[in-house]
Structure formats: structure tokens, C-alpha cells
Amino acid sequence: MHSMAHHGPSQAYDTIRQEPLQGVFPMKSYLSHLECTSCGQLFSHEQAIGTCSTCGKVLFARYDLASAKKHLDPHEFIKRRPNIWRFFELMPVINPLNVVSLGEGGTPLLKADNLGKSLALKNLYVKDEGLNPTGSFKSRGISAAVSKAKELNKQAITMPTAGNAGGALAAYAARAGIESHVFMPLDAPESNKRECEILGAQLTLVDGLISDAGRMSQEKARIENLYDISTLREPYRAEGKKTMALEIALDLGWKTPDVIIYPTGGGTGIVGMWKAFNELLELGWIDGTQPRFISIQAEGCQPLVKAFAEGASETTPYPNASTLASGLRVPSVFADYILLDIIQQTKGTAMAVSDSDMMTDMGILGSSEGIFACPEGAATLTGLKALIQQNFFSGDENIILMNTASGLKYLELFKNT
Ligand SMILES: *Cc1c(COP(=O)(O)O)cnc(C)c1O
Ligand SMILES: [Zn+2]
């Protein structure tokens, strides 16, 4: 590996309008290299590489944080437009003109006092990711991955998805002028299929699960030489999702919350947020420790919960995976070893909830706080209530429920009710 001089414009850019921003410090990414999370092998970020070529595991983007610490002022970020690219220095794109943005990120951290009172919690929040472009937090990761694909001169991208990531890829690829192929289970939400159609992706519906779609996408990538951006099988989607933690820390006045409750499929969000808090700790911009990460899964698909309960360091594919929360219908967890380690290290936990309870809690969250959550997001409330029963909390922690998408994308769930 060798490092090369960075050749980005030495100005701050409004990444949506692609025009210079005045009165803000120049934007320069501190991206330095890629590192394998398992064997530690290093790779150049100038090459398009998905997983470690030595051991096959997940790669992390690494930054020159020592130098960033010297040159950056965390209070500058608030001056930039509130989208994920305000954190450009900690993002993996070198040239701001390669950024493909629809205004993702900058979502509100809503204090949920009505709900908090009824649960005897003083500091309960909902990070409402339903306000993102394409209606889900998948836009963060896909904005980062498509931007990097553009920087690496990729012409065509392929990806398996449970639904929302496919809609996001269709949108960002369209904006970048890159061809996109999406492999999606037949029973994915109607909204996700329509998104692919209207936003110009080539959609293949698969009579099976996301793992079957993944095999088809990989095969397509191999035969047609497409860039495959499956969850955590490329290093940059996690970088987009890490901005959720950067925003939370910024909104709390550069502090970490005590608890993050996250509906987990492939786990990119937990991996990304934990990575972000580590970077912030290393930069010295936040005090304290990592929040406790609580992973919520559905009863019908709970590979992480099962492995965590057994004290295992990896998962096994969950048989007959089924839940109406499509984002949680992920039977094989590629980054399992990282996730289980995070949950353990941060003294979090993993818990499964039923589909009917999450649907009930969708109504409770909606009618008490005005947030129309997706079933995955509502599942975090179900999990929270179960953990309160187990005396998991003291009552004054900062607890954040992640609502990962808008309930408006799931209207067919209400057809028969
Ligand atoms: C993809 C998705 C999830 C799971 O996210 P991961 O970071 O892959 O675990 C949760 N909720 C919704 C709505 C999703 O689309
Ligand atoms: Zn490796």
C-alpha cells in the first residue's frame, strides 16, 4: 500500500448544488486506506475492493485521525448544510464533485416526552430516519457507496436488497448516471418495487430470501463485471450510515447517548455508528464511552439474538426466515463477528420481538408522538418496553430509538385491518 496526495478542490462545497460554500473551511477527506476487520491487512482506497482478498472478511475505511485532530474544529460542521456530507472530512470521497446527494441525513433527533412519561424514562429520543430521501435511512449508505463508485469510475452497480436499499440504489444511481441492477425478494414491499421501476433500476424479483437474491447479484456481478455493493461486502455503505452517530453526537452537544436501540438486519447501522463513535473518541471530540448497543430482531428471523444468547462469536443462517418487517428478514449476517463483539463490549443486548407487538407499537408511537414509524422502527419500542420489564434501565439515561424508515412505505400491511 502507498499513500498518494489528495487532489480534491481546496474549497468547501455545497454538495447538493455542487457550488462553492463561502466562509467555511476547505473540505478535504482524511481517508487514508482500507483495513481488514479480521486479519488486519491494509489496502489502498484507490482500488475498488469489496472484502479482504486474504481472508474474505469486512473491510473498514480508515482515516488519518491524528492529522484531522490537529486541523479540524468540530464546531465548524454546524455551519454547513445539514446533510451527511457536512462531515466530508470523515467521509470516504476525495473529490467533493463526486458526491451524489439527494439531501440525505440531517434528520431530527426527536425528544419523545409523551412516550417517555408513560414509560418513566426521562430522556427518550427517536431519531426519525423516515425523513430521508427515499423514505429510509438506506439513502445514507447508498449515497456514500454510489459517490465512491462514481469516484472509482464504475459504470454499473448491482445489489441484493430486502427492499429499501434497492429503492435507494435506484435513486442515487439515476442521479449519478450509473446503471443499476436490483435483486429483491418477491414479497418485498410494493413501494420498493415501484421505486425501482420509476427511478430506473433494472429490477429482478426473486422467489426467495435476500440471501438468494445475494447469490444472483454476485453471479450477475461476476458475469457482467458489475460493481456489487451488498451490505458490508463493500466498505462504504457503513461510512454513510455512520453519519447517524455523528449527527446524534452533534445534536447532544458532542456527547454520546447512553443507549441506542437498533432494528437489525445485516447490521450496517450498528457497525457504522459504533465505528463513528470510536472515531469521535479518537479525535477527542466527545467524552465518555460507547453507548450500549441493543439489537432488535423479529421472532421469525433472529440469527443475532440466538448467537448472542448462546455466547457464540458467529451466527448460523436462520431457517425459514419470516417477518413482516422486511428490513429484518436477513437470515445470514455477514458481519456477525463484529456485531456480536459490539453488543458484548458495550454491555448491550439482543432481543427478538413479535410481528403483532411491533404493529401494535407502531400505533402507540404514532398516536403518542406523531411519528409514523416503519415496523422495524416500531420494533425498537417493543424491545424497549420488554427491557424496562427486565429492569435494564435506571430511568435517566439518554435512550435513542432508531426509526429506520417511514411507515408510509408499508401501506399494504394495513390492507386487511
Ligand atoms: C435495512 C433496514 C434495516 C436493517 O438495517 P441494517 O443496518 O442492515 O441492519 C432496518 N430497518 C429498515 C426499514 C431497513 O430498510
Ligand atoms: Zn482479512
pLDDT digits (tens, 9 = 90+) for 97-109: 999 999 999 999 9
Identify whether the C-beta of residue 301 lies closer than 8 Å to the C-beta of residue 350.
no
What cell does 84 get? 451527511
Contact between 152 and 146 (Cβ < 8 Å): no
Euclidean distance between the first and the last CA atom of the chain, given in angstroms as a whole number: 58
Using the mean position of ligand 1's atoms as its centre, give its distance from the Cα of residue 386 in Å. 21
**Cα-to-centroid distance, 28 and ligand 2 (Å):** 28
Nine-digit cell string for 303? 440469527
Stretch 180-186: mean pLDDT, rounded?
96
pLDDT tens digits for 346-403? 999 999 999 999 999 999 999 999 999 999 999 999 999 999 999 999 989 999 999 9
Q: How confident is the model at residue 5 (pLDDT cuts 50, 70, 90)?
A: very low
Atom 4 in ligand 1: residue holding the nearest Cα: 265
Nearest alpha carbon to residue 314 among 304, 328, 323: 304
- Give the ligand whose atoms come closest to the C-alpha of residue 49: 2
Whether 407 contacts 363, CB under 8 Å: no
**Measuring from atom 14 of ligand 1, which residue has the nearest CA?**
327
Residue with cell 482500488: 47
Indicate which residue's Cα is closest to atom 1 of ligand 1: 327
Ligand 1 binding pocket mutation candidate from 164, 329, 343, 355 (most atoms within 8 A of CB)? 164
Q: Tell me, what's the pLDDT at 119?
A: 97
Is the pLDDT at 275 greater than 60? The verdict is yes
* 3-class SS shares of the chain: helix, strand, coil, % to 5: 40, 20, 40
Please check the confidence at residue 188 and state whether its pLDDT lies above 50.
yes
Is 1's pLDDT higher than 50?
Answer: no
Instruction: Answer yes or no: is pLDDT of 411 > 60.
Output: yes
**Residues with a CB atom less than 6 Å from ligand 1:** 136, 138, 162, 164, 231, 263-269, 327, 374, 376, 404-405
Identify the pLDDT of residue 416.
65
Over residues 110-135, the mean pLDDT reads: 98
The beta strand positions in 112-216, using DSSP E, are 123-128, 156-160, 179-185, 202-206
Q: What is the pLDDT of residues 218-241, one digit of tens each?
A: 999 999 999 999 988 999 999 999
- Ion ligand 2 residue ranges (Cβ < 5 Å): 36, 38-39, 41, 52, 54-55, 57
What is the pTM for the complete model shown? 0.95
- 417 pLDDT band, cuts 50/70/90, is low
Helix H or strand E encompassing 159: strand 156-160
To the nearest 10°, report the CA torsion of 304, 307, 312, 318.
-90
Phi and psi at residue 300, to the nearest 5°? -80, -5
Residue 307 class from Cβ within 10 Å (0-12 exposed, 13-18 middle, 19+ buried)? buried
Q: Closest ligand to 40 CA?
A: 2
Taking only the tens place, the pLDDT of each residue in 24-66 is 677 899 999 999 999 999 999 999 999 999 999 999 999 999 9
Site of grid cell 452533534:
250
Closest-CA residue, ligand 1 atom 10, reads 327
Ligand nearest to the CA of 403: 1
| AA identity, residue 10 | S
